Amino acid sequence: MTTTVTCIGTSNHGFAQYAQEEIRRLFPAVAFKLIVPTEIFSFEVPGSWSEVSAALKEQEPIFLRHVQPVQVQWDLTRSDEDIANLKTWLATTGESGFTNPGQFIAVQVRKEEKADVPYAPFTIKAELDTVITSTLQAEPVVKGADRIVSVYISANKLFAGISSPSENLSDWSGGAIRFQKEEDQISRAKFKLLEAEQRFGIDFSYARAALDIGAAPGGWTSLLLERGLRVTAIDPASMHPSLTSNPMLKIYKKNAGDVKLRDNEFDLLVCDMSWSPRQMGRLVADLLYALQSGGTAIITVKLMHKKPFQTIRELIQLFEPSLHLLKAKQLFHNREELTLYLQKL
């Protein structure tokens, strides 16, 4: 008898079909069931969770934001019995080797709006935290967990599983990474670069000089300045007044096609132009002489007419002679976009 594993996959709203396409390429025998249209789905594949999650990590699907294993599932009783069942499951599964005493364990509970249950996610978390402390002799945490207990409550069913944060592809519940909005934050776009920094494990301190193409009003520029980089910002639109007198910032209030830079002047290039991918690609390709060999580039790609895989292929072809793709990922803060992380050869 072949073993199979059931997982719950989450993508950005509207992009589940692309995540499913990528998963099908990895596991041709996969069977999908939609949970939340265009966003959340379960899938069943032959193999164990460790095999499946290893394959997903190795060739990480661009549009799969988060994945969790389903080790147990049942029809909702819509009563405290659901919580009691979950506690029994966690105590026995945890004790059978899925967790170890002293580990940091996070409980992440997601509940669909349509799930008409008399308990709130935080009640489930609080109840499971008591099992973690008293039965498993471990420590409940929110961040920095060794293991994550994921609970998903759909309209009719309850699903749960235990995994490590890296197996889930994100240590945030459902991959929905949240940043605190700062009082003086210039744009929400800053979250995209913050997320890329975390998700791709980028240490900006390696870089000294960054080129920001399509920089206004300056959310990305402000983050790079905060990280101690010198920044050259190009945009025909105005940068935020709080930035304009910063001595570490040089501004070209111009179209990127009209700027002349020095060869190898930068070790980081970022571009968040929200423009047609083809035109953006040509503009960036024409400025690549200013990026040093070994320097990196972070570029958002607007998915205008969908067909995302074709768009990515065309852009990579355009950049390929000089840039090598390190990672392509649709981030939580990308809406109709995805983010490319590349390195100059």
Cβ–Cβ under 8 Å, residues 56 and 169: yes
CB of 92 to ligand SAM, least distance (A): 48
**Residues in CB range of 78: below 8 A, 6 or more apart:** 116, 117, 118
| CB-nearer residue toward ligand SAM: 63 or 220 | 220
| d(C-alpha 337, C-alpha 183), whole Å | 26
In this structure, what DSSP letter does residue 98 have?
I
**Two tokens at 68?**
């969790």
| d(C-alpha 99, C-alpha 147), whole Å | 7
Q: Is the peptide bond before 217 cis (omega within 30 degrees of 0)?
A: yes
In this structure, what DSSP letter does residue 122 have?
H
Instruction: Classify residue 102 by burial, with Cβ atoms within 10 Å: 0-12, 13-18, 19+.
Output: exposed
Strands 104-111 and 139-141: parallel
**Residues in CB range of 177: below 8 A, 6 or more apart:** 170, 195, 198, 199, 331, 332, 333
Tell me how far the alpha carbon of residue 186 is from its chain's centroid.
22
Residues in contact with ligand SAM by the rule CB under 6 A: 186-187, 189-190, 213-220, 234-237, 255-256, 272-275, 283
